[in-house]
Structure 1
């Protein structure tokens, strides 16, 4: 396993994962301040001031080496337009495990950008970092994220009923995961 990784942009066919920048504040605040976008997230819609704090913190997250290290890169279109953010956190170095997640701005939803961006991080996770397992936890009512997990080849491993008290209600948690060997097997047809 190769863990001591410093961020560099990850480029796909239609998207690039790049560090958040100060000029992303308007787009990030619009996305994280939108109650519809935040409906299935762990937080309520955020104020611009709170988003500015988070932008500064997350833009500095550029290194993966130990448990808890994370990346929160921007998803950008080919022309550099802000589309959303990805989330990738090392959960265990010993077990070679990480968590992945995504948030898209309303104008970018439903176009496959989250799937392409997640594939870039999965390629990093399995092919470069040598991780064994990557998982996603989400609200199962978020059907768009469920479909993204399925397109990525992630296995539905569990559905935890009334798993947490969130935003004034008991909510379920869906758990999806992908192993390195499953990723490699899925990539073989693409490489042929």
Structure 2
């Protein structure tokens, strides 16, 4: 079980549960075709974003496997993205990492900062053994970020899913707790 102490502060971001006042910033994500291109949802209407926000507001803890922890990436009071951790398996101590960032903030290290904090929660807070991330092979920004986080490419699934009307390829990346701890020890020197 994981109930983080909020807010979680990184160098430049505040990671926190979504709140009712985040509707416009969230719609900037969910309503942007560029953002949702490689995600499982389509562009949201304002009403669909309102419903999505209500769901996210309740995803602030992991109490059983299968749940998602969904946190807003807050930069000076503006939500610029979200970072997520799924508790995929209690028995196998597995989790899944994900992130979505407003394109206006790409290339500045915000997603990496948030994802590193989420990996810390996964390994130190939840006691996971392995965290993986999946992305469309065409989503170079995402798979490059997974590599910068110290994750290794474990699989390349070819046309494994019918995704938005076409079969697509998918990469799977992962990192083990011991690998993550070794990387943290090196970076703290």
Matched position secondary structure for 2:100: strand
Mapped partners of 1:129, 1:67: distance in 2: 11
Query: Structure 2 CA distance, aligned partners of 1:4 and 1:21?
Result: 19
Shift of residue 65, structure 1, vs aligned partner:
2.3
CA RMSD of aligned residues (A): 1.2
Deviation beyond 3 Å, 4+ runs, structure 1: none
After TM superposition, the structure 1 = structure 2 runs for residues 108-147 of structure 1, keeping only pairs within 5 Å, are 108-147=105-144
Runs of at least 5 residues in structure 2 that lack an aligned partner in the other structure: none
- Scaled by the length of structure 2, the TM-score of the pair is 0.96
Q: Is residue 154 from structure 1 mapped to residue 165 from structure 2 by the alignment? A: no
Contact preservation (8 Å) 1:98, 1:135: yes
> How is 1:1-192 mapped onto 2 (pairs within 5 angstroms)?
3-6=1-4, 8-77=6-75, 79-192=76-189
Residue 4 of structure 1: CA displacement? Answer: 4.4
**TM-score, normalised to structure 1's length?**
0.94
Give secondary structure in 2 for the equivalent of 1:42.
Answer: coil
User: How many corresponding residue pairs?
Assistant: 189
Distance 2:97 2:111 in 1: 11
Counterpart secondary structure, 2:80: strand
Structure 1 stretches lacking a partner, 5+ long: none
- Tell me: CA distance 1:176–1:98, structure 2 relative to 1, closer, same or farther (3 Å): same
Cα distance per residue 1:15-59 (max 9 Å; x no partner): 121111111111111211111111111111111111100101111
